Structure 1
């Protein structure tokens, strides 16, 4: 860490450790332990924990302490419903901006997709998950809407936590490249309604896959169907 660490730097480190699985779901995180590990005072650690609690990655229980978020199937549904809302809104804004915004977004997303086939062929789950979230983060960023991007930061972190802690492999590994390429093609074609529907399908299927894998991990397998989420279609620019 830097000589004079700030609460933001500490929060960044703790966020990364939560996302990569260094902290277990439901594990208690204490000011004293973190301060000792990082060799800092407890003040900025307390502020960092408050920041992560506001982001939803930590949960504070009165008279008990602060704990890493525990995820349930209902949480997965909520995360992906929220992601659907943010990403379809971002897509609308990109299309509304027209060129050169659309072309720039298409090129950025295509560069990320180009790295997916090798990761899929190697069955490199961690790399696929990283590229998947990088793709969707870039999609939201391309909208130019800072508030959508800020909202997506927490959703992306929660999505990554799902992927890391559920420890699944994609159930539709071989379809991933085609699914993401479809999103790029629809964006390039300025097909507003087609892009909206493709994003909805993508989010619903991802949520269903993660939920099914979570239930299997817990020893309670059951069929999970993608949950339909009704929202307004995209409007062409």
Structure 2
């Protein structure tokens, strides 16, 4: 299947289930139950669980088992602080890239924004959260730094969990689309200082909203 080891497929599946809220923060992950559901042995399930534990999405508690991460206010601050540093680095790389690559990246971001606006119209917060993260991963991928993208993707699941938690903190989801549009506008204009400011303001605002 897709040329990937079973453990990786299971890890990807479980990560997706956690992000989608099938497994809630604090919920225990039982290897035997998961193996039965996926019709596989416990070996690859155990390896998948270990991978997600290394990513920080799952937490192992001695003599109790493995549980879905519960994000604390400090976790949120750390996640968004790292994202801020990486996205500003990606912004500089994009602005220094050849014009053709910058245009391609901006077009990709614009397509995501149009999809985000549609989800606001139908009030589908979960899809909006997924597209929010897609916008940022596409932005960072535009830096064409494979190691940075790999590190950033490790944050993606945790970040999506944070975004989903913002549903009750955003009385107007259109604000979220507007913040991303502002980032794209400054990127297209090549305005480095304002782009940095927009990224910082967007991510710092998310941390404040999460603390509500």
Q: 1:203, 1:171 → 2: CA distance?
A: 17
Structure 1 residue 210, shift from structure 2 partner? 2.1
Asked if the contact 1:11–1:48 (Cα under 8 Å) also holds between the matched residues in 2, the reply is yes
Distance 2:82 2:95 in 1: 20
Tell me the secondary structure at the aligned position of residue 211 of structure 2. helix
User: Deviation digits for residues 130-187 of structure 1, max 9, x if unmatched?
Assistant: 2211111110111111111111212221121123356535244232332212111111
2:169–2:210: 8 Å Cα contact kept in structure 1?
no
Unaligned runs of 5+ in 2: none
Counterpart of 1:197 in structure 2 is 197
Match in the other structure for 1:137: 137
- CA 1:118–1:38 in 2, change beyond 3 Å: closer, same or farther? closer
1:160 maps to 160
Structure 1 gap ranges (5+): 213-237
Q: Secondary structure of 1:136's match?
A: helix
Note if 1:211 corresponds to 2:211.
Answer: yes
Aligned match of 2:70: 70
What CA distance in whole angstroms lies between the structure 2 residues aligned with 1:201 and 1:166?
16
What are the within-5 Å matches in structure 2 for residues 92-171 of structure 1? 92-165=92-165, 167-168=167-168, 170-171=170-171
The normalised TM-score by structure 2 is 0.91
Inter-partner Cα distance in structure 2 for 1:143 and 1:189: 17
Count of aligned positions: 211
Contact 1:21–1:165 under 8 Å retained in 2: no
Question: 1:82-114, CA deviations, whole angstroms, 9 ceiling, x for partnerless residues?
Answer: 111111111111112232221111111111112
Counting helix residues as a fraction of each chain, which structure ranks higher? 2
Residue 5 of structure 1: how far off its partner (Å): 6.6
